[in-house]
Structure 1
Amino acid sequence: MATEPLGVEVLAFHVHHGLSPNAEAWVAHCEQQCRRWARRGLLIRLCVTRLEARPTQGESVEAWARRERYRALRQMALEQGAHIVLLAHHRLDQAETVLIQALRGGGVAGLSGMPRETERDGVRWLRPWLARAPEEIAAYVRRHRLRHIEDESNAEPRFARNRLRLQVWPSIERAFPAAQTTLADTAAWAQEATACLDELAALDLSAAASAKGLFVPAWLALSVVRRSNVLRHWLRGQLRQPAPASLVTRLMDELGGAKQGQWEHGRGRLRLHRGILSWTPAADEPVWRADRETSLSLRHAGRHALPGWGGHLVVSRVDEGGVPLAWLGHVELRSRSGGEQFQAGIGRPPRSLKKQYQAQGVPAWQREGPLLYSGGQLVFVPGLGLDARVIGLPGQPLVGLHWEPSTAG
């Protein structure tokens, strides 16, 4: 369905949140409006998504509705092959966003408000009315006699944005008539500042971070303000959301004097080991069960699930440096009990697991998993590998072993 002037198909997206008793009436209104336009030759196709989920107990209804609305809009856009979604935010929305973010301590990124244009999750999001006053939009609606519906929840003061709009904003405009414009300008300047800070953080991260994590000695070589900026930037990449100010403050205070350490966060755990700060999501933590397996028969290569130990033992064929497969017909699985001796290489003396872990720089969270024994001989240790005393000669059927922790469901 192409129109002559632009040669594009226009879609109308509506999200039925299931929160209002009038929600079905709103869908009917959208259907009627599209039919009226169709009679005038404006072919606009309506797509509706009804949300099935509901906010969890204690969850902000505002935050839930916003998150689910954007998710539904994105899904409809991708399903319909639409690459651009137009949003109706205007200048007052932007001013309110800046104020709310300032009151919540959102920092420079928060003061940036809403971007006029952004590309995220395969969809280009545009806000063409962001510089328009709501009065201009209302005048257009009246002039063209467009029927519209006011969401009754807009008058509900228990929502933060409504409280600001209904109770605070009238006083601000009386005292500062140009508040909409000046706060929108503030957002534009903050967006420029945020972009500069992001570029600076990217330069600093190229020298202070890698796939392994944040290299703390290089990070400490930066000035305090650049240190804070790059830490926020790195954490945002790990957490997939802005880091809480309390976490940033704590790391800024504690990282400089720490050699080892860990910091819990709701989504996972930060760990410092040998100068590298790494992030482990909660879903990557090992899952343990009381009924751990005590024996195993390994007669072929492949991944062998050990749910009691929270992972898989991976057996792979190798030409050299492996253990003879015949050794693994019956192996025992044991936890560390202390006193175990591991030989890291042929001709090297056996040493305690603790010393071997320290010598090879294996962090504590990579030492978990079962020890494998065959005929009383230690064969394999997670984080260290095969004991040198079980390495077979070339020409024999040899295999290598590797321990993979599972992700929590």
Structure 2
Amino acid sequence: MSSSLDTHLMLAPLPQHHQLWLALSGGLDSVVLLDLVVRYCQSHYQALGETQRQRQAQSQASGSSSNLKVPALKVIHIHHGLSPNADQWALHCQQLCQDYQQRFDIEIECQVHRVLLDKSGNIEAQARQARYQVFSDALQQDDLILMAHHSDDQAETLLLRLMRGAGSQGLAGMPQQRPLGKGQLLRPLLNYSRQQLEVYANQQQLRWVEDESNASLEFERNYLRHQVMPLLKQRWPSTNRALSRVGQNLSDSAELNRDLAELDLEKVRQGDNSLCCQALTELTQIRQTNLLRHWLQQGGMPELEQKQWQIVFVEVIAAREDAEPCFDWGGYQLRRFRNRLYLLKPCKDDLSQAQTSKIFNNPPTYHLADLPLGAEKLRLILPGGEFVLCSMKYQPDQETGSACKKPVLLSLPNEGYLELRYRQGGEKICLLKRGTKVLKKLLQEADIPPWQRQHLPLLWWCNPAGKERLIAVADLWFEQDFISSDGAQGWRLNWQPD
């Protein structure tokens, strides 16, 4: 390898970002990356943005640009608590950051995050999931976090996934850059080997720690690293490069699959992001799987295993027409209702069960007489979402003089109070030109899935004498006597679920 590693980051500007982060374990790889990034920050100070420079300038008492520090680098160390040396590793990372801050006169904030793991489960998977969750939670909009994965890591990852029977998307390996939380994750050393990083570290006389667990063959990645990879490299010295090419080819294939899935989704997806089962089954089996994998991944559901795919196709999609099957996986639910597939995120179904009784006994109440004079917006909060009421009136079109498409506006009395509740059963509402309707019947006619019906908020008006009337069901149906007349001021209601 050429000596270009020491100038790699300094020659190739990082993607635009708001705050730069770095994941630091204290091992060789991340210490090398820390050294490179600190030098990068110093040499690229002028390129890091006028806004950040001004912010730094204001923090300097002298106000002199010659004394400015570069924008802060934030470093995260994950304390897994698995090793008796974990506390020393955390201290080592903090000391490293302090040393670099003094040597290069830049601001470095080192954060140590402790995570709890279940030692009876898969420690490798838990530790990885915990790390990425901390990173995701820390990143704000347009932040960038750097990780020190290298080509040996990439090769090991590909082989591990191959042995687990992964498809083209999994075998594409670790991407150089991908979204993470509100920001982006970048692996700038992915094209360099661990040996090259070690040469650089020795040249720069860097200090790093060795995790004793890295020698344990009990862990799958260590077994590959110490038993399998040396044999492969002995027979094929270019193993890393070859596996990298394989990963890139499979990444291209996975991208084509995603493009095809998006084209199929246009034909199958409904306005509420559900899928039409009839349109889905008109595709070939392999395209159905490709489409569903892409759609479920977009929704956040963990990757399904072979047995789970069989359940989805046989027990959910192919279930009888009047059935309402539900498939649970990783906290998510895949449901079918009236020829449509719905993906529900975790905890959504538990909302009303956990809080409905409290709402029934003590519903959120808003006294109309207490509204601020001239108020233009009301927010009525209910666990699971909020009603937003905006004061407005119908505006005629300036060119034609005709009325714009009219939203339904509510006319609220000046007395009494409003209450928000969930359904209890037996509710009725009088609709304009349709008369009194039972809410249960309306929900059925509108094809609203059963699991959504219990989450629809009901807005009630109660007069001073205690008489109550249901005046709105979410933002779907409205009591006719409370609808504003043409040209009159009213309240536009919008239900915004969590």
The within-5 A match list for 1:173-192 is 179-192=239-252
Separation in structure 2 between the aligned mates of residue 297 and residue 69 of structure 1, nearest angstrom:
44
8 Å CA contact 2:78, 2:115 repeated in 1 = no
**1:90 partner amino acid:** H
State yes or no: 1:263 paired with 2:263: no
Question: 2:287 aligns to what?
Answer: 226
8 Å CA contact 1:380, 1:401 repeated in 2 = no
Separation in structure 1 between the aligned mates of residue 273 and residue 292 of structure 2, nearest angstrom:
11
For residues 112 and 389 of structure 1, do their structure 2 counterparts lie closer, same or farther at Cα, with a shift above 3 Å needed?
same
Question: 2:211 aligns to what?
Answer: 151
How far 1:98 sits from its partner (Å)?
1.0
**2:222 partner amino acid:** N
Q: Which of 53, 57, 62 is matched with 2:115 structurally?
A: 53
Question: 2:478 aligns to what?
Answer: 386
**2:478 partner amino acid:** L
State yes or no: 1:96 paired with 2:156: yes
8 Å CA contact 2:335, 2:341 repeated in 1 = yes
8 Å CA contact 2:90, 2:112 repeated in 1 = no
Separation in structure 2 between the aligned mates of residue 337 and residue 175 of structure 1, nearest angstrom:
73
Q: Which of 205, 214, 219 is matched with 2:265 structurally?
A: 205
Number of equivalenced pairs: 398
Separation in structure 2 between the aligned mates of residue 29 and residue 169 of structure 1, nearest angstrom:
30
For residues 37 and 371 of structure 1, do their structure 2 counterparts lie closer, same or farther at Cα, with a shift above 3 Å needed?
closer
**1:282 partner amino acid:** P
State yes or no: 1:238 paired with 2:299: yes
8 Å CA contact 1:385, 1:401 repeated in 2 = no
How far 1:195 sits from its partner (Å)?
1.6
Question: 1:22 aligns to what?
Answer: 85
Q: Secondary structure at the match of 1:113?
A: coil
Q: Which of 357, 379, 383 is matched with 1:290 structurally?
A: 357
Q: Which of 169, 174, 193 is matched with 1:114 structurally?
A: 174
8 Å CA contact 1:38, 1:44 repeated in 2 = yes
**1:290 partner amino acid:** S
8 Å CA contact 2:302, 2:329 repeated in 1 = no
> Can you list the C-alpha shifts for 1:287-341, whole angstroms capped at 9, x where unaligned?
334342378675267344566xx66566665767646526855889795445x65
Separation in structure 1 between the aligned mates of residue 460 and residue 259 of structure 2, nearest angstrom:
49
8 Å CA contact 2:42, 2:104 repeated in 1 = no
8 Å CA contact 1:336, 1:371 repeated in 2 = no
Separation in structure 2 between the aligned mates of residue 299 and residue 278 of structure 1, nearest angstrom:
38
CA-based RMSD of the aligned residues comes to 4.8
Question: 2:368 aligns to what?
Answer: 299
**2:446 partner amino acid:** Q
State yes or no: 1:162 paired with 2:230: no
Separation in structure 1 between the aligned mates of residue 494 and residue 138 of structure 2, nearest angstrom:
43
For residues 389 and 336 of structure 1, do their structure 2 counterparts lie closer, same or farther at Cα, with a shift above 3 Å needed?
farther
Higher mean C-alpha displacement, 234-243 vs 391-400: 391-400
Note the residue ranges of structure 2 that are not aligned, 5 or more in a row. 1-37, 46-69, 372-377, 394-407
Q: Secondary structure at the match of 2:336?
A: strand
Separation in structure 2 between the aligned mates of residue 165 and residue 393 of structure 1, nearest angstrom:
75
Q: Secondary structure at the match of 1:278?
A: strand
Separation in structure 1 between the aligned mates of residue 438 and residue 95 of structure 2, nearest angstrom:
77
8 Å CA contact 1:297, 1:330 repeated in 2 = yes
**1:382 partner amino acid:** V
If the length of structure 2 is used for normalisation, what is the TM-score?
Answer: 0.62
How far 1:114 sits from its partner (Å)?
1.6
How far 1:14 sits from its partner (Å)?
6.3
Q: Which of 245, 251, 255 is matched with 2:312 structurally?
A: 251
Question: 2:451 aligns to what?
Answer: 365
Q: Secondary structure at the match of 2:156?
A: helix
Calculate percent identity across the aligned residue pairs: 25
8 Å CA contact 2:390, 2:492 repeated in 1 = yes
8 Å CA contact 2:411, 2:482 repeated in 1 = yes
Q: Secondary structure at the match of 2:283?
A: coil
How far 1:236 sits from its partner (Å)?
0.7
Q: Secondary structure at the match of 2:157?
A: helix
8 Å CA contact 2:420, 2:458 repeated in 1 = no
